[in-house]
Amino acid sequence: MVEVCLIELPGRGIRLKEPLFTQLPPLVEAIAQNLEKHLDKPYAFFGHSMGGLLSFEITRLFRRHNIQGPTHLFVSGRSAPQLPSDEPPMHALPEPEFISELRRLNGTPREVLEHEELMQLMLPILRADFTICETYRYKPEAPIDCPITAFGGAEDESVTVERVEAWREQTSASFNVHILPGDHFFLHTSQLFLLQTLSQGLNRVLGGVSVRGYK
């Protein structure tokens, strides 16, 4: 049996009132501290978009501190970390322009975008997430020694196939890439194939034991 454990970041769900993180390193440290006591079994990471970056940097942090790392890293909808972004930053845009960009990215439901009160609640969270991603600075290290499987969307204009395939440089173990139909949020439109591929990969590397993931 595989156990899936999600991480709820500050500003979401029951952690709605907690201060938001706007920089990646302190968020990585905070997550790692909470995870360390749960790493008594083999595990894998799955992260989509910012979650993929978090999973990668936590894996590298564990290695630096000689903490048991994941047996497999699954990253989704995220350019390889060594590649600088070719998209103009949007985290500091005025509110109308910021909302317009959210609409273009197609990841926020139209009903949410058109709900003024809900958007006032969501905007600080979304800005914080974009700030984390857009201010991230990659620091070169040796490739990690666990396999990486990378997923991308065939119609994702910002995370192209080439940027997904560049994750190959980040592992000294095996590497696989899967390009699925859909845009950046292909994990919704191609959910069945994604889950089947994850299940097959987990059966190979974990043999049915616990897996802890990011969302």
CA–CA distance from 174 to each of 141, 147, 155 (Å)? 18, 5, 26
The active-site residue, picked from 49, 55, 79, 190, is: 49
Active site residue 49: yes
Q: Residue 2: left (phi > 0), alpha (psi -120 to 50), or beta?
A: beta
Q: What is the Cα–Cα distance from 71 to 80, expressed in whole angstroms?
A: 19
Residue type, 20: L
Q: What is the Cα–Cα distance from 148 to 120, expressed in whole angstroms?
A: 37
Residue type, 101: E
By annotation, the residues acting in catalysis are 49
